[in-house]
Amino acid sequence: MSTERTVSQLFDLRGKTALISGAGGWLGSAMSRALAEAGANVITSSRDAAKAAECAAALPAGGGQTHFGVALDHLDEASIENGFTDALLRAGRIDILVNNGHAANGSDLTTVTGEEFNRSLANATGYFLLARKLHDHAVARGGGASIVMIGSMYGVVGSYPEAYEGVVPASPVAYHALKGGIVHMTRHLGVYWAKDGVRVNCLSPGPFPGPAANATMVERLTTKSPMGRMGRPEELKGALVFLASEASSYVTGQNLLVDGGWTAW
Ligand SMILES: NC(=O)c1ccc[n+]([C@@H]2O[C@H](COP(=O)([O-])OP(=O)(O)OC[C@H]3O[C@@H](n4cnc5c(N)ncnc54)[C@H](OP(=O)(O)O)[C@@H]3O)[C@@H](O)[C@H]2O)c1
């Protein structure tokens, strides 16, 4: 009898529990819905407990899943500890972590202070500390896990100065350092944790400007896109579920770019 699973079985997240940070954000909310729509129980996190709970309550639960929110600030080690412990106590187990939250700092290379630069890089520390918590939990309970780091095309390429000039600050130098670091940390953790059954991959969005983005900058970015348009948050859903699920069971340490071809030319 064949043990080969069907495509629907491979992408199915029913029975799995996923924790996603920054769940109420522009991309985080679409990715939270993706996890719920694929059948997962979703733990939404925000720095604000009430907002986290609101995000959870808004998710579809047609498969009888349980969603709930936890407070978590990944720049604060005590908050990571408390948030993860709270999530685990309430859920019993966690199978998937999506490190999506991002404490932004808009200062570019002309103005950024050392303190701001370090604070930006601390997002990577938060991603790591949370990833290690999930790894240790998965090993302790004797099961696998999938960790998805949210990177960026700016972790792989520099930006076009003329897309920003005279309109907004340049894309922050600390952001490029941070996202490049996250892409590479993914490789390191992917290798070290492979034998534990814990897969670590990075999902790097291209340009997905939110409604508040500067219109002139967006127009200029559009001319740099092979597809001639910006990404829509729903266009991350398939890639996220692929990396979170058994559909990518032989994929670890990789960076999947969803960028309309931005990094291809
Ligand atoms: N939008 C794009 O074009 C684009 C492109 C490439 C990569 N990305 C990446 O995609 C991810 C989501 O971006 P987005 O555009 O959806 O941004 P967003 O709407 O600003 O959402 C970011 C989220 O991060 C959370 N956050 C802020 N500080 C945090 C902290 N200290 N600890 C934990 N969470 C924190 C915020 O949640 P709370 O306020 O609720 O805590 C917020 O909802 C980021 O990692 C970003 O770098 C975005």
Question: Domain boundaries in the chain?
Answer: 7-264
In this prediction the pTM is 0.98
Which atom of ligand 1 lies at the shortest distance from residue 154's CA? Answer: 6
Question: Which residue, judged by its Cα, is nearest atom 36 of ligand 1?
Answer: 22
pLDDT at position 27 is: 98
Paired sense of beta strands 41-46 and 198-205, if any = unpaired
Which atom of ligand 1 lies at the shortest distance from residue 29's CA? Answer: 16
Which atom of ligand 1 lies at the shortest distance from residue 102's CA? Answer: 24
Question: Which is catalytic among the residues 160, 164, 175, 250?
Answer: 175
Query: Of 148, 153, 214, 155, nearest to 186 (Cα)?
Result: 148
CA–centroid distance, 25 to ligand 1, in Å, is: 6
**Tens-digit pLDDT profile for the chain (265 aa)?**
789 999 999 999 999 999 999 999 999 999 999 999 999 999 999 999 999 999 999 999 999 999 999 999 999 999 999 999 999 999 999 999 999 999 999 999 999 999 999 999 999 999 999 999 999 999 999 989 999 999 999 999 999 999 999 999 999 999 999 999 999 999 999 999 999 999 999 999 999 999 999 999 999 999 999 999 999 999 999 999 999 999 999 999 999 999 999 999 9
pLDDT at position 206 is: 98
Out of 77, 100, 102, 214, give the residue to mutate to test ligand 1, the one with the largest number of ligand atoms within 8 Å of its CB.
Answer: 102
Q: Is 160 annotated in the active site? A: no
Ligand 1 contact, 176 CB (< 6 A): no
Question: Tokens in use for 15?
Answer: 């029975």
CATH number at 7-264: 3.40.50.720
Ligand 1 contact, 238 CB (< 6 A): no
Which atom of ligand 1 lies at the shortest distance from residue 27's CA? Answer: 16
Ligand 1 contact, 172 CB (< 6 A): no
How far is Cα 116 from Cα 114, in angstroms, rounded to an integer?
A: 6
Ligand 1 contact, 231 CB (< 6 A): no
Question: Which residue, judged by its Cα, is nearest atom 13 of ligand 1?
Answer: 27
Q: Which amino acid is residue 104, in one-letter code?
A: A
Question: Tokens in use for 59?
Answer: 């998710």
How far is Cα 72 from Cα 177, in angstroms, rounded to an integer?
A: 24
Ligand 1 contact, 119 CB (< 6 A): no
CA–centroid distance, 228 to ligand 1, in Å, is: 24
How far is Cα 95 from Cα 244, in angstroms, rounded to an integer?
A: 9
pLDDT at position 2 is: 85
Ligand 1 contact, 186 CB (< 6 A): no
How far is Cα 260 from Cα 258, in angstroms, rounded to an integer?
A: 6
Q: What is the sign of the dihedral through the CA atoms of 215, 259, 184 and 252?
A: positive
